[in-house]
C-alpha cells in the first residue's frame, strides 16, 4: 500500500521573486539566456517544464478565441513587415519612451521611474550625479534586409502583432467568409528595446503576445468593448487565477496609447505590485484609416444588407503570453509543511500543468515496474505523463509537487491482487483507491471539476 503523507498545511512565507526565479531554474521552467556565456540581460529561455506551460496557456487562449467563437478566425503574419507599416501605425513617430541619462554613472532611466525629488533636483537616484534632460527614445528594434546596410533596407522588428492583422484585413474579409462583427486572432513574438527590464520575465525585449482584433460597426464600439472587457477577465478566472489578485485599471488621458480612445488594463498583483497583464483598447478606425491613407488601398467594409460602406472600429484584446506565464507561476506558488518539512508546491490548474499525471511503481521489483510502464504507455495517449521509479515515494511526490503535477498514480502490491491503484491529489495530498480501468475517466472528471482550495 502506498504511504499516506501526514499533512499540516500552513503558510510558511510569502513568495518573493528570488524564490520563484530559483524554483524556475531548479525545476527546468526558465533559464537565463546564453547562460554559459554569462547570460544576456532580460532574455530568458523556456526549459522543458516552461515550454509545456507556455504552450498550454497559448492553446487555451487559441481555443477560447477561435474554437469557442464562430466569428473569430486565426492568422499568423510575418514578424518582419514593410517599413511603411510602422509609419502608418504611428509607431515611428510615437512609440517612444522619455529617457534620462546620468552624466556620471551613465545609467539610463525611464523618466517616469525616477523619483520626484530626483527629477526636481536633476540628480541621479543611484549615484547623485547630474541628469540629462529627457529625450525621446524609440522602442522599436531595427535591422537591415539585403546585402547592404543602408536606409533602403531598413526593417523594424514588430513591437506588437496587431499590425499584421490590420494589413491582412482585406485578405481575411475576402477569403474568410466573415461578416462584421468578427475578430482575427494571432499569437506571436514581439520586440521592444525596453530599458527597464527587471522582475524576471515581466518586461523583456523579446516576448510573445496573444492579440485579437475585433472589427465592429462604429455605433456598436462601446457594446463590444464592455463585452470583451468582461470576457477577458473571465478567461483568467478560467485559467485558475485567484479573483482577489485581478482587477481593472482604466487609462487616464496621459496613459492612453496614440491609437486608443479608451483603454482598460487587466492588472495582476505580482510580488512587486499591481501591474498590467492585458490591455483592452478601443482603437476606433485609427489603424484602418491610416493604412488606407499610407497604402492607397481601400480598407472599407460593405454591409451587404444595409448597403452601408464604412471603416470598422477595432476593439483589441492584447495579452502578453510570456507575462501570463509569470502570472500563472506567481499565482500557483505556495508552501506548506508536510511531515515536518517545508513543501514547495505549484498549484496550477490541472489543464495548465506541464505534467498532468506522475506514474510510480511503489518498488521496482516483483513486476510492479512493468505494470506501471504499461499503464504509462496507455495514459500518455490522453495525458502528459511522467514515469518515475527512483527514490522513496514521498520524495517522488515532492518532486512532482514542485512542478505542479496535480495527480500521481502509485501501483503497489494490492494492485497485483485487485487491479486497483492510488491516485494522490497534489493540493490536499489525499489518496483514493480506484480501479486501473477507471483512471482515465477519474482524471478527466477531476480536471473538469477542479477548484483551487479556498477559491
Ligand atoms: N497591440 C497593443 C499592445 O501591444 P501593450 O499594452 O503595449 O498593447 C499588450 O501590450 C501586452 O503585451 C501587455 O499587457 C503585456 O502583457 C505584453 N507586453 C508588452 N510589453 C512587454 C514586454 N516588454 N515584455 C513582456 N510583455 C510585454
Ligand 1 mutation pick, 188, 276, 327, max ligand atoms within 8 A of CB: 276
CA of 276 to the centre of ligand 1 (A): 8
Spatial separation of the C-alpha atoms in residues 35 and 299, rounded to whole Å? 47
Nearest to 346 by CA among 70, 30, 2: 30
Indicate the average pLDDT of the chain. Answer: 94
Q: 148, exposed or middle or buried, with CB in 10 Å at 0-12, 13-18, 19+?
A: exposed
CA of 319 to the centre of ligand 1 (A): 7
CA of 391 to the centre of ligand 1 (A): 43
| Residue 232 Cβ contacting ligand 1 at under 6 Å | no
Name the one residue in this structure whose C-alpha cell is 534620462: 100
Average pLDDT over residues 77-82: 97
Listed in order, strand segments (DSSP E) in 307-399 are 309-310, 313-320, 333-338, 341-346, 357-361, 385-387
Angle (CA) 53 443 428, round 5°? 80
Spatial separation of the C-alpha atoms in residues 20 and 300, rounded to whole Å? 49
Q: Is residue 3 pLDDT above 60, yes or no?
A: no
CA of 275 to the centre of ligand 1 (A): 11
320 CA closest ligand 1 atom index? 16
Provide the pLDDT confidence category of residue 197 given band limits of 50, 70 and 90.
confident
| Residue 402 Cβ contacting ligand 1 at under 6 Å | no
User: For residue range 359-391, what is the model confidence (pLDDT) as tens digits?
Assistant: 999 999 999 999 999 999 999 999 999 999 999
Ligand 1 mutation pick, 228, 323, 327, 328, max ligand atoms within 8 A of CB: 323
**Which cell is 299 given?**
480598407
| Residue 279 Cβ contacting ligand 1 at under 6 Å | yes
CA of 163 to the centre of ligand 1 (A): 14
Strand (E) or helix (H) holding 175: helix 169-175
User: For residue range 160-192, what is the model confidence (pLDDT) as tens digits?
Assistant: 999 999 999 999 999 978 999 999 999 999 999
User: For residue range 315-333, what is the model confidence (pLDDT) as tens digits?
Assistant: 999 999 999 999 999 999 9
Q: What percent of the chain has pLDDT over 90?
A: 88
Provide the pLDDT confidence category of residue 455 given band limits of 50, 70 and 90.
low
278 CA closest ligand 1 atom index? 14
Show Cβ contacts of residue 393 under 8 Å, excluding neighbours closer than 6 positions: 2, 3, 360, 362, 410
Q: What is the pLDDT of residue 10?
A: 55
Q: What percent of the chain has pLDDT over 70?
A: 97
33: left (phi over 0), alpha (psi -120 to 50) or beta: beta
User: For residue range 275-317, what is the model confidence (pLDDT) as tens digits?
Assistant: 999 999 999 999 999 999 999 999 999 999 999 999 999 999 9
- Cβ contact 280:315 at 8 Å: yes
| Residue 412 Cβ contacting ligand 1 at under 6 Å | no
| Residue 320 Cβ contacting ligand 1 at under 6 Å | yes
Provide the pLDDT confidence category of residue 4 given band limits of 50, 70 and 90.
low
What is the value of pTM for the model shown?
0.94
| Residue 318 Cβ contacting ligand 1 at under 6 Å | yes
Amino acid at each position: 500500500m502506498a504511504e499516506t503523507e501526514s499533512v499540516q498545511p500552513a503558510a510558511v512565507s510569502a513568495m518573493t521573486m528570488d524564490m520563484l526565479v530559483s524554483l524556475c531554474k531548479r525545476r527546468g521552467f526558465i533559464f537565463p539566456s546564453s547562460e554559459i556565456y554569462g547570460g544576456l540581460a532580460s532574455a530568458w529561455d523556456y526549459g522543458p517544464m516552461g515550454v509545456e506551460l507556455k504552450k498550454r496557456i497559448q492553446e487555451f487562449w487559441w481555443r477560447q478565441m477561435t474554437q469557442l467563437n464562430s466569428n473569430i478566425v486565426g492568422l499568423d503574419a510575418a514578424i518582419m513587415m514593410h517599413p511603411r507599416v510602422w509609419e502608418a501605425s504611428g509607431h515611428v513617430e510615437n512609440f517612444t519612451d522619455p529617457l534620462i541619462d546620468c552624466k556620471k554613472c551613465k545609467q539610463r532611466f525611464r523618466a517616469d521611474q525616477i523619483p520626484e525629488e530626483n527629477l526636481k533636483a536633476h540628480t541621479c537616484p543611484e549615484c547623485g550625479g547630474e541628469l540629462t534632460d529627457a529625450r525621446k527614445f524609440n522602442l522599436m528594434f531595427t535591422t537591415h534586409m539585403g546585402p547592404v546596410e543602408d536606409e533602403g533596407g531598413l526593417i523594424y522588428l514588430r513591437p506588437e502583432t496587431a499590425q499584421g492583422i490590420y494589413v491582412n484585413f482585406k485578405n481575411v474579409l475576402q477569403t474568410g467568409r466573415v461578416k462584421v462583427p468578427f475578430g482575427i486572432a494571432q499569437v506571436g513574438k514581439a520586440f521592444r528595446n525596453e530599458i527597464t527590464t527587471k522582475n524576471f520575465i515581466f518586461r523583456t525585449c523579446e516576448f510573445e503576445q496573444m492579440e485579437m482584433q475585433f472589427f465592429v460597426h462604429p455605433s456598436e464600439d462601446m457594446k463590444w468593448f464592455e463585452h470583451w472587457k468582461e470576457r477577458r477577465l473571465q478567461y483568467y478566472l478560467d485559467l485558475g487565477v485567484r479573483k482577489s489578485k485581478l482587477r481593472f485599471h482604466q487609462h487616464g488621458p496621459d496613459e492612453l496609447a496614440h491609437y486608443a480612445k479608451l483603454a482598460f488594463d487587466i492588472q495582476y498583483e505580482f510580488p512587486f505590485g499591481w501591474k498590467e497583464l492585458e490591455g483592452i483598447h478601443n482603437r476606433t478606425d485609427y489603424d484602418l484609416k491610416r493604412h488606407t491613407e499610407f497604402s492607397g488601398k481601400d480598407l472599407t467594409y460593405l454591409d451587404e444588407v444595409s448597403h452601408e460602406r464604412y471603416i470598422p472600429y477595432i476593439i483589441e484584446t492584447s495579452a502578453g503570453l510570456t507575462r501570463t506565464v509569470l502570472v500563472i507561476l506567481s499565482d500557483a506558488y505556495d508552501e506548506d509543511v508536510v511531515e515536518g518539512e517545508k513543501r514547495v508546491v505549484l498549484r496550477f490548474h490541472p489543464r495548465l500543468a506541464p505534467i498532468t499525471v506522475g506514474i510510480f511503481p511503489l518498488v521496482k521489483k516483483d513486476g510492479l515496474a512493468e505494470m506501471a510502464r504499461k499503464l504509462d504507455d496507455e495514459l500518455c495517449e490522453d495525458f502528459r505523463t511522467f514515469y518515475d521509479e527512483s527514490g522513496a515515494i514521498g520524495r517522488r511526490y515532492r518532486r512532482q509537487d514542485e512542478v505542479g503535477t496535480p495527480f500521481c498514480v502509485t501501483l503497489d502490491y494490492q494492485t497485483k491482487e485487485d487491479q486497483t491503484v492510488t491516485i494522490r491529489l497534489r493540493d490536499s495530498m489525499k489518496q483514493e483507491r480506484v480501479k486501473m480501468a477507471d483512471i482515465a475517466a477519474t482524471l478527466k472528471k477531476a480536471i473538469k471539476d477542479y477548484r483551487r482550495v479556498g477559491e
